[in-house]
Structure 1
């Protein structure tokens, strides 16, 4: 039997990172946790990798991501020496879709698999990929790939209007119940109803409108998939939405999707990549409307805060304020940026800069302006405000907003709300002898017992 060869590539990367095996294992475990995976690697595991063993996917991608973050350059799974050779008959949906030229085809292949619970694990057992983020810039000269069928029933204006209405339907569902609710229904709708319109004969203007609606629906599905705790699949849908927006020649929607990808990268801890995506989003939407510019600038402000540039963060927030003052409201889920959204983003930015007092004021302003039907935004804003107030030592005020969070929690199905509940119980446990905290903890236990399973089957955990 052939002996394993030592993994020199991994040794070189460890030396470049100035890490020992235990530090690499901890970094991989942390990345896995951020992506909903429970990993238990240690220095012994890395020692086996160094002698030639290879962990199963998606661990090589997580190792590459850990080195990318540490070494501040892109490292691929192949460079780690851990990636398994690709089989010629590999027909995994994500791999097949990634090689296809046609965004509509990619969408159909992956959404069909996603809509089938027996096959979904083929998509969700993968890792967030830094490589696909390398060249997302707007390219208006790119010719359209998706060719309509030469014959058949033509797309009607009524069918395109139905697509537009469904964008509002699924956006409203996500706000009322969280993205993990009805997610597979949207995947099915994209597979069965939307895909036909993208290949059927149509007038050029109707075809562009159909692709814009398909890009919006795919963007919404990506956000719902983030809520469900599947970051790599969400990333794939975002990239597919970029392709559809490009087919539609919709520069504004392209920039909005890049902004969402920046937010996802930031949440996963890839701060420099998030800043790059936020910059690219602004470049792509350079001539767009004031509301969209405010939306894009607010995200770049947050990435500047996380990358240690408070001056630029403040400048972007000030410009976003000015743009939003000049904005006019447009209909639809992609039509406008509410003041409550900018206040929330300002609060997040100030938190990243360590200014808790001003962050609490911005978050309070955002929370007070959230509409009653926007349960998702209401819950997450009040949870962030409650956590901030507790950090400031304002326990009673914090408990008021944790109670508002609990008002909305039973109606929601999304991992961020489950995570907020875990954080609430752990942070309040030290104050369990205080009446206000004790009352919230008792209520939380009753809410957990009465609520459906968490969005991704996660345990809400003990109070400590």
Structure 2
């Protein structure tokens, strides 16, 4: 049997990373666990890869992602010495078909464990707005079906309804409905005959619906799947010339990256959103700059973080427009952004103060899910600074409402409580909260 030649491309990346073989294996295993498919690679496997033995097909994108995260730049399969990865939909003629394929995978709730295994990529290629112009005209229209503005209004109304369900009860139940509506109603509408104005409006409405479905995927922890929806949403927004939605989606992608702790990609996406934004209202400027502030803070860029936060404060003070379903940036949102910036910069006590400001300023437009997530963050930070009784009180308020919420993000926060309280079980309040969580999680 012929001995394989050394993978010089992989060796080059390995040297650039500065890793030991053990660290390389640990990075790959860590991403495998994040993906939901735990791996147990060790140094001998790394040695074999460097000597030219091809990793299993399922491991290759994880290896590429590990280097992308380490080197803070996109890495391709070919740059790692691997065969090119299979590409999915994305050509002019298959935009709708790709949308149907994506949504069809998501319509069955029983497939959640499989779909959750998709991999979040810090090096995801984002389609540029100029590259998307003209895609709307490339979709062949079905002469047997024609739509008008009433169909556009129906899509927008359904998206609003599903957004409300998602905010109030979590994405676990709402996402299959959103995916089914995308496949069975929106996709045929996109192929129907219509006036240029109606086709453009339908593409824009479809983009918002696709973005919402991706947001629901984030809530379930299916981060790679969410990125696929986000890219489709960008394609639809760009094809229809909807710059506002295009920059809104980029901002949402930055939020996802920031929540996962990836500061550099979060900055890249937030800056891209700012660059793509048209002349916008003060509310929209705050919406973008508030996210830039959090991203800069995570990336360790303190001066940029504080400058962006000041700009968000100025914009909120100027804003008068009402909060919309897919955006808006209120004083409560600003307080939350301030809390995240302070925490990322190491000021936990200041972060707690800002979270208290957030809850004081919240109103009926703020989502039920965000209340539980932000309250959980507050409890964790109260515990961190030694306020055990306050943390338990905050957690118990979350647990009062937890059974009615079907959110992977809330589940994840609640699941952390026992390990965080375990060192304090000699305290009666902590022990009572600990046991309450265990009982709720068990049921």
TM-score (norm 2): 0.92
Which segment drifts farther, 364-373 or 254-263?
364-373
CA shift at 1:296, angstroms?
0.8
Question: Number of matched residues?
Answer: 441
Structure 1 residues 415, 49: CA separation in 2 closer, same or farther (over 3 Å shift)?
farther
Which segment drifts farther, 144-153 or 66-75?
144-153
CA shift at 1:249, angstroms?
1.4
- Alpha-carbon distance between aligned partners in 1 of 2:266 and 2:93, rounded to the nearest angstrom: 26
Secondary structure of the residue aligned to 2:173 is coil
Mapped pair 1:377 → 2:366: no
CA shift at 1:4, angstroms?
3.3
Of 404, 409, 413, which residue of structure 2 is paired with 1:420?
413
Partner of 1:305: 297
CA contact 1:57–1:126 (8 Å) conserved in 2 = no
Of 362, 387, 410, which residue of structure 2 is paired with 1:394?
387
CA contact 2:133–2:241 (8 Å) conserved in 1 = no
Of 352, 356, 362, which residue of structure 2 is paired with 1:360?
352
Which segment drifts farther, 356-365 or 44-53?
44-53
Q: Deviations over 1:289-308 (max 9, x none)?
A: 21111111111101110121
Mapped pair 1:53 → 2:18: no
Q: Deviations over 1:159-216 (max 9, x none)?
A: 2111111111111111112122221121111000111111112222222221111111
Partner of 1:27: 27
Secondary structure of the residue aligned to 1:153 is strand
Of 265, 272, 284, which residue of structure 2 is paired with 1:280?
272
Mapped pair 1:219 → 2:211: yes
CA shift at 1:54, angstroms?
3.2
CA contact 1:36–1:230 (8 Å) conserved in 2 = no
Structure 2, unaligned runs of 5 or more? none
CA shift at 1:393, angstroms?
0.7
Partner of 2:173: 181
Structure 1 residues 409, 322: CA separation in 2 closer, same or farther (over 3 Å shift)?
same
CA shift at 1:282, angstroms?
0.3
CA shift at 1:72, angstroms?
3.2
CA contact 1:375–1:408 (8 Å) conserved in 2 = no
CA contact 2:92–2:135 (8 Å) conserved in 1 = no
Structure 1 residues 2, 120: CA separation in 2 closer, same or farther (over 3 Å shift)?
farther
CA shift at 1:444, angstroms?
0.6
Secondary structure of the residue aligned to 1:182 is helix
CA contact 1:306–1:352 (8 Å) conserved in 2 = yes
Partner of 1:63: 63
Partner of 1:38: 38
Secondary structure of the residue aligned to 2:424 is coil
CA shift at 1:312, angstroms?
1.4
Partner of 1:316: 308
Structure 1, unaligned runs of 5 or more? 451-464
Mapped pair 1:251 → 2:243: yes
Partner of 2:422: 429
Q: Deviations over 1:126-183 (max 9, x none)?
A: 43344543x5443288223343526233213222111111111111111112122221
CA shift at 1:124, angstroms?
5.0
Higher helix share: 2
- Alpha-carbon distance between aligned partners in 1 of 2:434 and 2:132, rounded to the nearest angstrom: 57
Partner of 1:144: 135
Mapped pair 1:197 → 2:189: yes
Mapped pair 1:329 → 2:321: yes
CA contact 2:375–2:395 (8 Å) conserved in 1 = yes
- Alpha-carbon distance between aligned partners in 2 of 1:351 and 1:306, rounded to the nearest angstrom: 9
- Alpha-carbon distance between aligned partners in 2 of 1:36 and 1:324, rounded to the nearest angstrom: 40
- Alpha-carbon distance between aligned partners in 2 of 1:432 and 1:155, rounded to the nearest angstrom: 63
Secondary structure of the residue aligned to 1:420 is helix
Secondary structure of the residue aligned to 2:3 is coil
Structure 1 residues 231, 335: CA separation in 2 closer, same or farther (over 3 Å shift)?
closer
Which segment drifts farther, 66-75 or 286-295?
66-75
Secondary structure of the residue aligned to 1:180 is helix
Structure 1 residues 352, 253: CA separation in 2 closer, same or farther (over 3 Å shift)?
same
- Alpha-carbon distance between aligned partners in 1 of 2:393 and 2:19, rounded to the nearest angstrom: 44
- Alpha-carbon distance between aligned partners in 2 of 1:136 and 1:39, rounded to the nearest angstrom: 31
CA shift at 1:428, angstroms?
0.9
Secondary structure of the residue aligned to 1:364 is helix
Secondary structure of the residue aligned to 1:40 is coil
Which segment drifts farther, 342-351 or 407-416?
407-416
TM-score (norm 1): 0.88
Structure 1 residues 76, 266: CA separation in 2 closer, same or farther (over 3 Å shift)?
farther
- RMSD over aligned Cα, in angstroms? 2.4
Structure 1 residues 57, 416: CA separation in 2 closer, same or farther (over 3 Å shift)?
farther
